[in-house]
Every structure is written in structure tokens, then in C-alpha cells.
Amino acid sequence: MQTQTLLYIVIAGIAALLLALFQYIYKSKLKSNLRYGLFILRTLAVFAILLLLVNPKFESKTYYDEKPTLVVAVDNSESVTYLNQDSTAISILEAMTSNSELNERFTIQRYSFGKSTNSLNNLDFKDRQSNITEALKQFGEVYANTTAPIVMLTDGNQTYGSDYSYISKSVKQPIYPIILGDSTVYADLSIKQLNVNRYVYLKNRFPIEIITNYNGNEVVDTELKIWSGNSVVYSKPIQFNASKTSEIVSTTLVANNVGLKTYRVELVPLLNEKNTINNSKNFGVEVIDQKTNIALVFERLHPDLGTLKKSIESNEQRSVSILKPKEYLSKINDFQLVILYQPNNSFNQVLNEVFRQKLNSFIISGTTTDWSLLNNSQTFFKQTITNQTEDFQPDLNRNYGTFIIDNLDFEDYPPLQSEFGDIEFLVPNDIILTKSVNGITTDQPMLSTFEANNAKYALMCGEGIWRWRAQSHLDTENFNDFDNFMGKLVQYLSSNKKRNRINIDYESFYNGNDDVIISAQFFNKNFEFDDSAALTITIKNKSDNSIREVPLLLNNANYSVDLSGIEPGSYDFTVKHNTESIAASGSFEILEYNVEQQFLNADIDKLQSLAKNSSGKAYFFNNSVDLINNLLADSRYQTIQKSTKNIVPLIDWKYLLGIIALSLFAEWFIRKYNGLI
């Protein structure tokens, strides 16, 4: 308690005493001992009231013991089962979590991890991918301010995410891998990686790069074959030895027919080779007849130009040509879509031709856009001209229904610069992004699409989208989210297909470990998104004609179904409305490949490196008892006594109000009883 507060309390006590003395002792007419009782009651009541005005605060401390946390994480991926370590992992987990000494020393938290990390409810070892890096990163964030050694039961074979060898620098916790797997080295051939473009063009030769590996010490001969159906389209003999354990094979194949083509790469197995699953790998290419050609017309250089080109061309089906206005006019018939970047006076003839010929176009405005020219060259929208610029944040309209948009988190994206002032659309339009200023969402569009005169248009108000692509990489460590968003916008604008009441979004083929997600949108007769529709997808396996039906679930502004885990093969599907005769169909193929079955041994070197870098230690599964003993003996993991300080103001003490009320009542009653009132 502060000295100033103590002084106020003393003053309050003296004031209460003096007031009571003046009333009942000094020149009082009461001569009996009754006045001393009244003096005490009045002193007590006045002092308590003054104490409430001073309102001193009292501190109390509560002490408690906090045990260190022991994180036990189990690899729940298929590779553990494939290496026959699933029962071993379960027995080690039970031994650790039921150990009385460990439970007395630590608070044990159990997790499982595969592609994602979850609290451990049950282990089935069926995750089709494993991401050790992400699991460790999450543990590091959750237990950043505590002592929490991490025990990981894993084979160390990661199939998804960045290399986990260096994650210990950010986790800041000792890591103890329990290695599940055989350390014996077997002779093994494998296809480590296969690089091929997803899309190829008819009559073109497309490149294939195959990285082959050998694990062993003997000289071995094998043959690399590429199969198309039952025919070998390429073969090459390969020899490996102890010094030559890898070879990169590059070749090209011809795309003769339009459509999806599947191939299988195979290394002929060695005699008595233990794992032959990793000797082959399937891949697919989609043969297309022509590219979508897009013109990006500019007058002023800007980083957005390079961003748009890279983003759009991330899909090999599209080609972007960056042209000056005069260059575009000389090639105007070569393109399915034109992007007009910040039109100014030099765009006058281009704008006239675009709107006269009813060409699909995407207009991007910014700080140097000539809005007078734009307003006068078309009758679709009008911008209030203020000659002032403003920074606007994007806000995603999740009810946009012209095409399916992934749920991007635009709230964290940097602002764009554009003309300050209202924009008015004179034709029906659909808003993808609205403008937000200082966290306040406006009804002003930032990105809109509309259709008029049998052409498709988009208008984006803002320059600086290169920052958006950079932010996408910061958020997800790749550009896929932003590129997919731009790709769908370009696909819509460059297509002349009429709008349907059901739109479906899917890939023509999926690799064996890909997430197989099919999305759909359903619109009512006014082409408004219907969030109460009941949609069902019917999937037919072409090989055995088996059929299954699955309902689609509403997910923000679209319906989706996750078909991950279905058997590899070719499928036809139909998405239909349950009560209306409206449907959309498609087909896809799942290529046979299980990345978790590609491993023959645990990745011992990487797990030992992880343990060493984090000040932990790696153990083999048959030495788990040593780990328990070392954890109990490690002086870094001690129970810590902590305290909680509570500061309670006197005004919260209800008994003081009772004392005041009781003292005043007693004083009044005594005076009343004795006829002093």
C-alpha cells in the first residue's frame, strides 16, 4: 500500500474521531455512559464511509506449482504402417502416457500429425501425407513461453512441406525423435522425382525429366521404361553403383490427340528387391488444341504488368503479350481477351475498337488513368472525377456468384491506389471486391464483372496488385492462391460460354495424393446465388461401373465435396439439383500413386540432425525406456513455483457496507429507545 494512501487513512481516522468527539463528548448533554457507546458507533460509521472514499487496495498472493509440459506427437501417416511400425508406435505411446513417474514430473499432451496436426483421439495411420515441419512449427507457437520438450514418434519421412531439419531454430524446445523404422540398408531402385508440364499442345513434343535413385553398394543394371497403356514409348538402359547413385533422364514425347493422356514411368526391379512400389510412377498431361491469347496493353511501365503476366501464364494454357496501344491495334484479332492497364489519351482508338467490336476486356485503373476518356468512351459506368487518389483495402464479397472464388483472406492484403470518388454502374454488375477505408467497408466496387452487348467486361479500380501476389507468397509460401484467383477471372472473361444455373469447378486429373475437391454454385432463375439448394454428386467409376452418390455441403458462397481417398481410376460425375431438373457433368481421372509407400527406411540422418540442433537426442524404438529415464533425470525440466498476485480494492469488500449499515442502525435505535430523537 502506498504511503499516500496510508496518510489518507490516518486523516480519515482522525476526522471520524474528532466528529464523534464533538457530537457525543464535547459539551454533550448526555452524562451517562451511553454517550461512550454512541461515540464508538459514530466513529466506526464515519471512518468506514471515509475509507470507502479513500478506497485503498490490498494485495494477496496465491502460490502454485507448474509442471513442465511433455508433448508426445505420433506420426499418423501410412508410411508407419508400410514399415510395420504401427503397433510399435502405439505400444511406446501407451508406455509413456501411463508411466507414473512421467505423469508426476510432466503434464503430458498427446498429438497426432499427418498433413495436419490434431489432438490425439485415435490412431489409424491412414493419413496420405505427412508434414513434420508444420507440426513442429505449431508446437513451437503453442508452447513458446513454457518448458515443453517434444517427443516425436515418426519414421522421419516427410512428403509435404519444407525441410524440417532447420525448424529447430524457431521451435526453441528440445526435440526427442523416437525413430520408427529399420536402419538396415537394402538395395533399392526408386523414381525420386518426375517433372512434366500439366498441359501440352497438340502435335507438339513435350519434355519429361525423370530423377532416378539407387540405394546400395553393388553394380546393378536396370532399364527405364515409359508406358502409354500397354505400349512402351521410350526406354533406356541405366547402370548404378556405389559412386553413381542417381541419374537424370530427359526425353520428349509427342502429343498426338486432344484430351487427357496418362503414362507410367518404370524402373525394372532388381532381383529380390524389397520395395518395388517406388520403382514406378504415373503421370498425366492434358493435350489442348490452342492457347488462350491475352493482350496486356499499357503506356506506362509498372510492376503490375510483370505480375499480371506471371500470374496469368502460371497456367500453361494462357499466353500474355505486353503491347503498346498501336501494337495491339495491328494484332487486335489475335486475342481472346484484352487487358487495358491505366488507359490514357493514347488509348483513345483502342477503346473505340474494343467497345465497337464488343471485345471481352479487363480495365485496370490507377493514379494515371484518364477518367474523362473512359467515361466518354462507353456507357457502362461513370466515375466521379476528383483528381485525387486514395488508398483502398479490398473486401471480398463472398456472395459473388458469376464464377467460383476460393476463400482468400483479402483483409490482410495491402491497399491499392485509385481515384477518390464514387463510381456508378449503368448496367447490372456483380461485385467481387468492395473498397474499405480504415477498416470501414463501403459499397463502392473495387473489382466488378458485368456483361453487355454479348461481351464480358471487368473493371478494377486500383494499381499495385503486385503487392497482392507478394502477400500471397508471404501467407502461404507460394503464389498459388493469387494465381488461381486471377486465373479464374481471366478464364471467365476469355470464354464466350453462356451463363449456367449450375457452375462446377474441378481438375481434369489428380495425382494420387492430391485433395480431390469438386465445387459447384447453384443460381435461381434470376441468377442469384441460392444458399438453400440441395445438390448431389453422382460419381461413376468407368472401370467397374460402380456408382456412389454424395451430397454437396454449403461452404460460404459455393457447394463442395471432398472425394479424397477414393480409388485411382477414371470417373464420370454429375452434379444435380435434388428437386429441379438442372445438372452439370464432367469427368476426371485419379492417377495411382501413394507417396507414403515410397520409403524403405526411416530417415535416420535427418531425425538425428533435428535432435542435435534442438539440444535433444534421437532414440530408436527399442530404446524408448532410455528416453523416459533421461527425461526424468534432466535438470532442465523442473517443477516451477509460480504466484498469482490479486489486487482487491476495498470498495469490493461487501462486509464494510454491512458494518456501516449496522453501526448507523444501532446508533439510531439506541437514540430512539432512549428518547434522544
Task: Please write the tens of the pLDDT for every residue from 165-193.
Answer: 878 778 889 999 999 987 777 788 999 88
Per-residue pLDDT for 29 more than 70? no
Superfamily of chain region 68-172+625-638: von Willebrand factor, type A domain (3.40.50.410)
Q: What was the pLDDT predicted at 639?
A: 85
Q: What was the pLDDT predicted at 439?
A: 76
Chain-centre distance of CA 40, in angstroms? 70
Task: Please write the tens of the pLDDT for every residue from 353-373.
Answer: 999 999 999 999 999 999 999
Q: How confident is the model at residue 253 (pLDDT cuts 50, 70, 90)?
A: very high
Q: Is the dihedral of CA 273, 276, 281, 282 positive or negative?
A: positive
User: Which of 429, 450, 579, 584 minimizes the C-alpha distance to 519?
Assistant: 584
Q: What was the pLDDT predicted at 225?
A: 95
Q: Which of 42-56, 152-166, 448-462 has the highest mean pLDDT?
A: 448-462
Q: How confident is the model at residue 309 (pLDDT cuts 50, 70, 90)?
A: very high
Superfamily of chain region 502-595: Macroglobulin (MG2) domain (2.60.40.1930)
Numbered ranges of CATH 3.40.50.880 in the chain:
292-494
244 grid coordinates: 553413381
Fold classification of 188-288 (topology level): Immunoglobulin-like (2.60.40)
The SS3 assignment for 101 reads helix
Q: What was the pLDDT predicted at 35?
A: 77
CA 75 – CA 93 distance, rounded (Å): 11
Per-residue pLDDT for 221 more than 90? yes
CA 437 – CA 420 distance, rounded (Å): 11
Q: What was the pLDDT predicted at 27?
A: 63
Strand 337-341, strand 292-297: pairing: parallel
Q: What was the pLDDT predicted at 30?
A: 66
557 CB-near residues (< 8 Å, 6+ apart): 398, 399, 400, 401, 404, 405, 521, 529, 531
Q: What was the pLDDT predicted at 601?
A: 80
Residue 271's identity, in one-letter code, is: L
Residue 5's identity, in one-letter code, is: T
- Under CATH, which number does the domain 292-494 receive? 3.40.50.880
Q: Is the dihedral of CA 30, 31, 37, 41 positive or negative?
A: positive
Q: What was the pLDDT predicted at 412?
A: 83
Q: What is the mean pLDDT of residues 584-605?
A: 82
pLDDT above 70 covers a percentage of the chain that reads 98
Q: What was the pLDDT predicted at 574?
A: 94
Per-residue pLDDT for 90 more than 90? yes
Q: What was the pLDDT predicted at 575?
A: 94
Q: What was the pLDDT predicted at 92?
A: 94
Average pLDDT of the chain, as a whole number: 87
Numbered ranges of CATH 2.60.40.10 in the chain:
188-288
Lowest mean pLDDT among 259-268, 382-391, 408-417, 426-435: 408-417
Task: Please write the tens of the pLDDT for every residue from 476-533.
Answer: 888 988 998 998 899 889 877 666 788 888 888 887 777 889 999 888 776 677 888 8
Q: How confident is the model at residue 82 (pLDDT cuts 50, 70, 90)?
A: confident
Q: How confident is the model at residue 55 (pLDDT cuts 50, 70, 90)?
A: confident
Q: What is the mean pLDDT of residues 110-127?
A: 89
CA 200 – CA 254 distance, rounded (Å): 9
Per-residue pLDDT for 619 more than 90? yes
Higher confidence at residue 445 or residue 498?
445
Numbered ranges of CATH 3.40.50.410 in the chain:
68-172+625-638
Q: Output the pTM of the full model.
A: 0.62
Q: What was the pLDDT predicted at 31?
A: 62
Numbered ranges of CATH 2.60.40.1930 in the chain:
502-595
